[in-house]
Chain A
C-alpha cells in the first residue's frame, strides 16, 4: 500500500525517530507500509445531530436522552458558531491488533513501527472521511434550512483538552459502535480495536478557523522538543 508521505513521517515521529529522512528507519517503515493493507479493515459510522446552547455551552439534541451536554472550554469555543455536529467512530479493525501482537513476539522494533504506522494511518483515514462527509453534505440539496455550503470546525476527540473522556460511552451508544464498527468502549474509556477513534466535528454556516491544529494552539508549544530543534511535529 502506498501511503501518503505525511503518514510515513508522522509514524516515524511517533516511534521516536526524530529525523524523518533517516534512511534505515524510513526504509523499514516503507517495508511495513507495503503490506499494511492486509491488516486494515477500516470501518466507520457517523451521525449528524443538531446542537443548541445553554449559557453558551453546547449540547447535542437527540431523542433519548434529549440533551447530551458537551462540556468544557474546547467544545464551547469550537462549536460556538455551529448548528450541528458530526459524531464519528472509526477503526482500523482487529486484524491490525492481531498483526501487532504477532510482531511483538517476533520483533519488537517492527512492532513499535507498525503501531506508530497504525496511529498515523487512522488519523489520515479520518481526514479523508471528513473530506468525503463535507463533500456529501455540500452535494445534498436542501437537507435543511441552512443550505450549502457548510463548513467544518477542526475535528476533536474525547479526552483531548477538556472534552470529557466519558462522552466516549455516549458516542458508542449513539452510533451503536459495537454493531456498526466492532468498536468496544471499555469502562476506562479505552477502545478496542486499539486503533479506533471517536470524534466530533462542528458544522457551521460560516468558515471556521483552525483552532486546535498547529503550534499556536498546542498545550505543549512552550516545551515542545521539535520546536526546540527547529522543526514541528505536524506535517
Chain B
C-alpha cells in the first residue's frame, strides 16, 4: 500500500495512450497547450456589483458585467472560458427568484456570445455543492448525483462545449458529478480538485487516488485548481502527470492571501515565471484561479506560446480507495473474511443488518495486514442489490483499503460500483457469454480491473490447456471492451486437494503459464485447498508458497492467520520485493521485542472470573471466561443474565458512586461486547435464535453531527441485551417516524448536542406522536434538561447512558417501573 512516491517501475504502468486522442485537446487543432480563463469571483468583486447570495444571479441581473469579464479573458488569450455557473445547483436556487436552469441557460449564452468571435469554447462550470457528504455528513451520493445531473442537462441544453468540474475536495462528490456528466451528456469533461501542499484534499484524498478514480470513470482531463500558487502546485502537478495518461490541468491561485488585506501576493510576472514549472511538471491545460485577472492570463498565454509540452506519462496500474492506492504488480493480500459462505456469524449479521460487525471485520483485516478487501454479501434472504452498497458505505467509513467487489449478480455489482469511492476491482467474470456480456461492460464503464475465472458453463477444465483456452477467450473479449490486459486478474481456481489431488499442480502450472503468456495479473482464493484435512493451515501455507513461486499476485486469504502472513512476508524477502528485507525486519524485530501493553490484560496467572474480567475491562479474558462457561454447558441466556448483567450493574453502580470513571465504564462495556460476540458466535453456530430484551431505535436528531454520546448509549444498551436500531446522526424526523412505523418500535432514544438542534428533536417527537400508537421517547444530550424534555413532551429525560439502560429495563420489563408519560424521570444534574 502506498501513500504516494510513485516510482517509475515500468511494470506498474500501462502502455501510453496518446493525449492527442483526448477529447479536450480534440476541441482544438491538437494544440500544444490550452489556455483557460482566470478568476471569475475576483473580477466580480472588482466590478463592485450589488451584494447577492449567489453570484450566478448576475447572469440575469448584470449580464453586461459577466459578458465583459468573459471578453476580457478572451482578449487575454483564453481558449476555454468557464461560464458563470459554478454554484448554480437546484438546491441553492430553490428559493431564488430565478431557477437554476434559467441561470445556467443565461450563463452559457453570455459566455457563448463572448466566445464566438474568438473561436473559443465554453465550459459549463460545476463546483462543490457546499454540502457535507456521507460518511462525515448526511448528503448521499445519489442526492449529489441528482443535483449535478440537473445542472448538466441544463448546461448541455444551453449549448456548452464541455463541462468542467472544479475546486472539488470530496472524491465521492466529484465522482457523483463526473458520473452525472457521463450519463447525462456526451460532452468532454475536465475535473480539477483542490489539494493542500501535502498532496491531499481536505477529505484526505491523495493525488494518485484521485487520478486513478477519475481516469477510471472516464474524465478527459484531470488536475488541480485553487488553494495554492503555481510554485506550490508544481510538484503536485508532477505527481498527477506521473500517474495518468490524460492531459493535466492546473489553475493556481495568485499565491496566498494576506490576512490583513485579503489581497493575493504574486504579481503577474511572478505567477507566469512560476507557471513555467507547471509546464515542466507536465501540465498542458493552464489558467488561473483566485486572485488572477485578465492581465495574468495574458502573460500566461504569452509564456505558453514559447513552450513545448512534456510528453504524457502512462496510467498507473493500480486500484484505490479514496485515500490509498495499491499497485497491482508484486504480491498483495486480499482479505477474505467479508464473505458469508460458511460463516454463520456473518450470515446472521447480514440478515439482521448488523453492519457494525462487518465494519469490525474490515478494521481487523486491515490491522492484520490486508492490502485490499474482498466484499461479498451473497446469502439466501439477503438482497444483494441493496446490501452490497450498504456494506461498502459501512466499510469505507472506517477502512481505507481498496475493495474487490465480489458478486455473481451484475445488478448488485453495478449498485456497488456506483457507490464505492475509489477505483475498485470486480470479482468476477467467467467465460460464459452471459457473464462476459454482463460484467465486461461494467468493468469498462467504471474503469475497473476484473477477476477472470478460468471456467465456463461446463465448469472448471481439468487441464492446464483447458483453463488457458478460457483465459484466452476472456482476454480477447475484454480487449473488445477496451479493457487493458493489466486490468485482467486471472484466477486459475483452487480445488480441494482432499477431493481432487491431481488438480493442485494443474492450478499452479496454470498460474505459471498465465504469467508467461499475458501481461495480466493473477489472483487465487487459497484457503479452499485444505478443506477436509487435519492441520489445514499447513497445507494452505505450503500451497500459498507454491502459488507465490508460480507467480501469484493476489492471495485471497484470512490475514488474521499469522502463518499465512508469515509466508507472504518471507516470500517477499526471497523474491526481492521487500527491498533490504525492511518490512520483514520491521515486523518481526518489533514482534520479538514487543510486550502486549496495548490491551488491558490480567497480570495474575490465574484467569479472572467472567464478572471480574468485565469489571476490570479485560476483553480477551472476558471472552475466554465466557467460552469456558459455554464449554461447561452453561446456556447463552444464563451467561447473560447470571454473569454479564450483574457485572455490568456493579460497574454502573461504582461509576455512579464515583469509584469508576466514564472510560472505565466503557472499558467494561468493551469487555461485555467481547462476551456478546462469543455468545453470538455460539448462537449462530447452533442456529439458536438470539433473545432480545427489546428493540430501541436511536438517532441523533437532524442537523446534529456529534454522536459519541449516542454511541455510548448504544453500546450500553447492547451490553444489556437490547437490540438497537441505530439510525446514525443528522437523522431527519421522517426517517425516525418511518422506521418506528415500519418495525412497530416501542421505544425511541433521541440525542442532541446543541440548542440549535433542539427544535429538530421537538419536531421528531411531534411527528412520532402523530402515530396511532406512538412509542415511548427518551431524550438526552449535552443541552437537554428535565424541563426541556417536559416541554417537548418526551417521556423521559436520561442524564447519561446508564440511566437510559435503567429506563429501558423498566419500560420493557417493569424493573423500577417508570410509568411512561412523563413520570419517573431521570434526575437532572
Contact = CB atoms under 8 A, between A and B. Distances in A.
Interface of A: 15-18, 22, 24-25, 28, 31, 41, 43, 46-48, 63-65, 93-95, 97-98, 100-102, 104-109, 111-113, 115, 133, 143, 159, 165, 178-179, 181-182, 184, 186-190, 192-194
Contacts of A178: 128, 130, 169
Contact of A112 (B169, B359, B662, B760): B662
A95 B322 CA distance: 12
B542 interface: no
A188 B662 contact: no
B712 interface: yes
A186 B167 contact: no
A188 B169 contact: no
B669 interface: yes
Contacts of A18: 658, 661
Contact of A97 (B136, B194, B704, B715): B136
B62 interface: no
Chain A interface, >50% SS class = mixed
Contacts of B260: 47-48, 143
Interface in B559-606: 597-598
B708 A188 contact: no
Chain B interface, >50% SS class = loop
Contacts of A105: 356, 359-360, 363, 398
Interface string B645-672: 0000000000000100111111101100
A103 B598 CA distance: 14
A231 to B, nearest CB: 14
B617 interface: yes
B663 A106 contact: no
B661 A106 contact: no
Interface of B: 45, 51, 128, 130-132, 135-137, 167, 169, 194, 196, 198, 200-204, 226-227, 259-260, 262, 356, 359-360, 363, 397-399, 597-598, 617, 658, 661-667, 669-670, 703-706, 708, 711-712, 715, 730, 753-757, 760
Contacts of A16: 661-663
Given A41-B198, A112-B662, A179-B227, A165 B756 contact: yes
B51 A182 contact: no
Contacts of A97: 136
A94 B131 CA distance: 15
Contacts of B137: 184, 186, 192
A43 B705 contact: no
A98 B204 CA distance: 10
Given A17-B663, A25-B661, A100-B708, A188 B703 contact: yes
B669 A108 contact: yes
Contacts of B661: 15-18, 22, 25
Nearest to A116: B663
A43 B204 contact: no
B398 A102 contact: yes
A109 B667 contact: yes
A113 B598 CA distance: 14
Contacts of A189: 754, 756
B713 to A, nearest CB: 11
Given A112-B666, A179-B194, A190-B705, A106 B363 contact: yes
A184 B204 CA distance: 15
Contacts of B658: 18
A22 B660 CA distance: 11
Contacts of A100: 708
Q: Which of A25, A28, A109, A190 has the most CB of B within 10 A?
A: A109
B244 to A, nearest CB: 24
Pairs A-B, 3 closest by C-beta atoms: A182-B202, A188-B703, A16-B662
A18 B664 CA distance: 12
A40 to B, nearest CB: 12
A193 B201 CA distance: 13
B661 to A, nearest CB: 5
A25 B662 CA distance: 11
B565 to A, nearest CB: 20
Given A101-B398, A192-B136, A187 B703 contact: yes
B202 A94 contact: yes
Nearest to B366: A102
A165 B757 CA distance: 12
10 contacts: A17-B663, A18-B658, A22-B661, A100-B708, A107-B666, A107-B670, A111-B711, A165-B755, A184-B131, A194-B706
Given A25-B661, A47-B262, A94-B136, A194 B712 contact: no
Nearest to A66: B51
Given A25-B663, A112-B663, A184-B137, A64 B51 contact: yes
A61 to B, nearest CB: 13
A46 B262 CA distance: 10
Contacts of B669: 108-109
B754 A188 contact: yes
Q: Which of A43, A65, A98, A100 has the most CB of B within 10 A?
A: A98
A178 B131 CA distance: 10
Nearest to A95: B204
B312 to A, nearest CB: 29
Nearest to A184: B132
B421 to A, nearest CB: 13
Contacts of B356: 105
Contact of B196 (A15, A43, A47, A143): A43
